[in-house]
Amino acid sequence: MSFLHNLTCRRCFNRTFATALVATPLAALAGRRASAADRKLSPVPGSPNSVRSQVLDKAADALQVKKPIDAMSEYLNGFHFYADDMGRQVEANHFCTHLNEDFHQCVIYEANQTDAKLLGIEYIVSERIFKTLPEEEKKLWHSHQYEVKSGMLVAPNVPDLGEHAFMADLVTTYGKTWHTWQIDRNPDFPFGIPQLMMGFTRDGQIRQSLLDDRDRRFDISTQSERKNRADIPLPDIVPGANAWQGGKTMQLQLVEMPVKNLRG
């Protein structure tokens, strides 16, 4: 498991507690990132939660075991663009479970806030797994090489040494991302169908204003992150990833279909 996973996984707390105690002074020297300040998000339609609903929610939270949620141990902030339109760029906050050394699964929110909307999902696999995928499947995946090396992808609140170790693991991985909420066009309701998303691969692609706004809110510097990761080896991209670079890409469209095995 990655350094960050071992440090933050709730299930691993007892196993890593002593290690964390030893690492704390060193981590403090390495510096910590501040949490981003909450920002005003567009509300969804509907009435505020009643007192009854609030009580039921609190009771359910206290009584129910939610193992998939508890297993989410990693938080990443980055950016995606719609596979068929690089002009549509959005910030993505990933909350991930490290299933094994070769596989992460993440849910994506518009922000790290209690009122944030669920935007989509991302599956992350190692280079070893990606190489085994069929060629048609590879067209749906993007590399993380540039996102890591550029400093664009960050792990908020994780000490520099821990984040560096985690990014060294991620630099060779590949992701398949679907956004179910087109937040850039419809901030208050999830109209439409899921869309395939991709990741940036070189300088000049992302709008600088998006990076600047993120850096300001998190009190970080993308350029400093880039310098801190200069020693992470630059991997070659496995052919088949980032298919959009060829000028054509895969994307979902909604079509009417006959219903099979219809009953009743």
Give CA–CA dist 231/233, Å, rounded.
Answer: 6
Given a contact cutoff of 8 angstroms between Cβ atoms, the answer to whether 72 and 95 are in contact is yes
Give CA–CA dist 180/196, Å, rounded.
Answer: 9
Q: How far is CA 207 from CA 81, 103, 238, in A?
A: 11, 30, 26
Give CA–CA dist 172/233, Å, rounded.
Answer: 9
> Phi-psi category of 66—alpha, beta or left, where left has phi over 0 and alpha has psi -120 to 50?
beta
Kindly tell me if the per-residue pLDDT of 52 is higher than 60: yes
Give CA–CA dist 81/124, Å, rounded.
Answer: 17
Among 24-38, 115-129, 223-237, the range scoring the smallest mean pLDDT is 24-38
Kindly tell me if the per-residue pLDDT of 6 is higher than 90: no
- Looking at residue 144, the DSSP 8-state letter turns out to be -
Q: Which tens digits make up the pLDDT trace of 134-144?
A: 999 999 999 99
Kindly tell me if the per-residue pLDDT of 30 is higher than 90: no
Among 41-45, 136-140, 145-149, 239-243, the range scoring the smallest mean pLDDT is 41-45
List all residues 6 or more positions away from 262 whose beta carbon is below 8 Å from its beta carbon. none
Residue 45: CA atoms inside 13 Å, Cβ hemisphere, count? 5
Q: Which tens digits make up the pLDDT trace of 61-101?
A: 999 999 999 999 999 999 999 999 999 999 999 999 999 99
- C-beta atoms surrounding 117 within 10 Å: 20
Burial class (CB in 10 A: 0-12, 13-18, 19+), 93: buried
Note the pLDDT of residue 36: 73
DSSP symbols for 87-140: EEEEEEEEEEEEEETTEEEEEEESSSSTTPPEEEEEEEE-HHHHHTS-HHHHTT
Given a contact cutoff of 8 angstroms between Cβ atoms, the answer to whether 200 and 77 are in contact is no
Evaluate if pTM is beyond 0.85. yes
> Given pLDDT bands bounded at 50, 70 and 90, which one contains residue 38?
confident
Give CA–CA dist 206/89, Å, rounded.
Answer: 7
- Looking at every residue in the chain, the average pLDDT score rounds to 89
Domain ranges of the chain: 3-33+55-246
Kindly tell me if the per-residue pLDDT of 24 is higher than 70: no
Given a contact cutoff of 8 angstroms between Cβ atoms, the answer to whether 170 and 181 are in contact is no
Note the pLDDT of residue 264: 80
